[in-house]
Structure 1
Amino acid sequence: MIRGIRGAITIEHDDADLVLQDTTKLMQSIIAANQINPEDVASVVISTTPDIVSAFPAKAVRTLPNWDYVPVMCMHEMNVPGALPLCIRALVHVNTEVTQKDIQHIYLNDAVKLRPDLTK
């Protein structure tokens, strides 16, 4: 079974180091909470709000230990008025036996506003 694991994090301002650092933090949190083995990952889709242009977040994913062969793609979110700014979102497609309700979605910093129902 392939499950999608969602996550998001906001950054303080658009800066390449922050994009890479906080994407790594988000992915490490998703990995730890869901005990993900990179061999079980089908792909990762990462999006950023249009105000993030300094770096590709996928670069951070590819530098995680043993994640060099996981397909990763970056894109921009729609530019919707009033949307949460400076946000990096991840959708990790994982082969797992974990039930949908037991998947641990991760929202960090101001991104907790996106899904308060999934944050603890």
Structure 2
Amino acid sequence: MFVRGIRGATTVEENTEEAILTATRDLLAAIQEANPTLTPDDLASALFTVTDDLTAAYPARAARQMGWTSVPLMCAREIPVTGSLPLCIRVLLTWNTPLSQKDIKHIYQRNAEILRPDLVQKRSD
């Protein structure tokens, strides 16, 4: 068993509790779908960051709403780099898994796709 990291990010249209929680739930669900062997019991921790313009809710609350009741969760502010993507929620999941790092699927949604275009899942339209 190894400890691996899963990265993800998304954005919201506005600084509201509903927008932050909905976007975070969507992001976590997409991460779980892309990594089907991931279960909350195998997570060592989850670190969420938000840009300075998001103050209406803790994204970790969305994970609790999804039943992640035993996972240690923490929220923090992203470094406010000039010109960085606004209204952005990021997550780093620390996962105990036998998978190799190259088999981990990272998820970038909405406007956050520009952060790591090399990791964005190709969609078939």
Among candidates 44, 47, 50, match of residue 46 of structure 2: 44
Q: Which residue of 2 aligns with 1:108?
A: 109
After superposition, residues 56-75 of structure 1 pair within 5 angstroms as 56-65=58-67, 67-75=68-76
Any runs of at least 4 consecutive aligned residues in structure 1 with deviations exceeding 4 A, and if so which?
A: none
CA distance in 2, matches of 1:71, 1:31: 17
Displacement of 1:13? 1.0
Displacement of 1:102? 1.2
Number of aligned residue pairs: 119
Q: Which residue of 1 aligns with 2:6?
A: 5
CA distance in 2, matches of 1:58, 1:19: 10
Aligned residues with identical type, % of pairs: 46
Deviations 1:27-81 (A, max 9, x none): 011111112111100000000001000000010011113x111000000101110
Structure 2 residues not aligned, in runs of 5+: none
CA distance in 2, matches of 1:94, 1:63: 19
| TM-score when normalising by structure 2 | 0.93
After superposition, residues 15-54 of structure 1 pair within 5 angstroms as 15-35=16-36, 36-54=38-56
SS of 1:6's partner is: strand
Q: Kindly report the root-mean-square deviation, in angstroms, between the aligned alpha carbons of the 2 structures.
A: 0.7
| TM-score when normalising by structure 1 | 0.97
